Structure 1
């Protein structure tokens, strides 16, 4: 069963994830292309994540929200120099100057 079928608040969590990635990308002064290169992902996929839009449509013809895999989350976290848990923690909003403690 896809996450979107059993979690009624999936949309809110997906949008928060996108907001965190957008905020971190802007804070670090990264272009979509640079973020994609650092993460080893396509620029098109990064663009969809940043726009809170998946690449597939639902039964109503509307685009589904992105649902990145663990691999994608880890790649983005590494590229943005942030702990992956920050990106998926729906109890924490978008924070400024979030970085890993090294």
Structure 2
């Protein structure tokens, strides 16, 4: 079991992360392909993040676990989306209240 799975709020945090990435991508008018090119991440992985799906099914429930990106992925996305990386992981900041790096 991944360490984060035991946190009750993990699924909500993961969902909000994907919403923030999607909203900013839309604001910049980027396609998934363009985001893929900016980050070096695969299109499939980007789709998993945007749809809050991890790559593995929970054997007990048959449902996909929430996405759980590494720090490297968070930094790549923040850079590509011209965001402060802390915005993506700070669940206290709404999707709309983003902050660009200075």
TM over 0.5: yes
Shift of 1:97: 6.5
User: For 1:28-58, what per-residue CA distance to the aligned partner results, in whole angstroms no more than 9, with x for missing partners?
Assistant: 0000011011011001100111111111100
Gaps of 5+ in 1: none
- The separation in 2 between residues aligned to 1:77 and 1:93, in whole angstroms, is 16
- The separation in 2 between residues aligned to 1:64 and 1:85, in whole angstroms, is 23
1:35-46 → structure 2 map (5 Å cutoff): 35-46=35-46
Aligned length: 100
1:30–1:98: structure 2 CA closer, same or farther, 3 Å change rule? Answer: farther
Superposed CA RMSD in Å reads: 1.3
> When the two structures are superposed, what TM-score results if normalisation uses the length of structure 2?
0.92
Shift of 1:98: 4.0
1:74 aligns with 75
> When the two structures are superposed, what TM-score results if normalisation uses the length of structure 1?
0.92
1:14 aligns with 14
